[in-house]
Structure 1
Amino acid sequence: MDACLIDCSFSEADLRSAHLQNADLTNANLENANLEGANLKGATLSNANLKGANLQRAYLRQVNLRETHLEGAKLDGANLNGAIR
């Protein structure tokens, strides 16, 4: 996909099963967003706000999570293999 979504706000958005592979979500606001089952393989989430987000069963392989805010996020069943923290 390779979308550039830097500084975008998806607060409380319904992004279930979204395809966001290799997307740049640096500084994005995804607070309380529903990303259940989303494919974020290779995405950049540096300094993104994922507080309270639902990431259950999300595909997060090789995702850049540097300085990402994950307080209260649901990660049950998420694939985080190779994720950078």
Structure 2
Amino acid sequence: MPGASFASRKQVVIVVNKKAIVYHDYASHSAELVVEDFCKTKSSTRSVVITKGLANILTEHKRQQVEQMEKLGQV
């Protein structure tokens, strides 16, 4: 994985391979965010080094999101 060689024990490398698109409706001053599970090209995928603390926070946040979606019947 690119960038993995310089990550220390206190760091985690995450790979971002999603594409976010915001559709603006200028008439109603609203916007819709759409996240697609792929990038347009292979070179669009990025590796990002974050701390283990941030990785733990993100993991807990994701767990809470899944739990909330299950309660709402969206999973």
Classify the TM-score, shorter chain: under 0.3
The structure in which a higher percent of residues are strand is 2
Greater length-normalized contact order (CA 8 Å, ≥ 6 residues apart): 2
Using the size of structure 2 for normalisation, the TM-score is 0.23
Using the size of structure 1 for normalisation, the TM-score is 0.21
Query: Which of these two proteins has the greater Rg computed from alpha carbons?
Result: 2
The structure in which a higher percent of residues are helix is 2
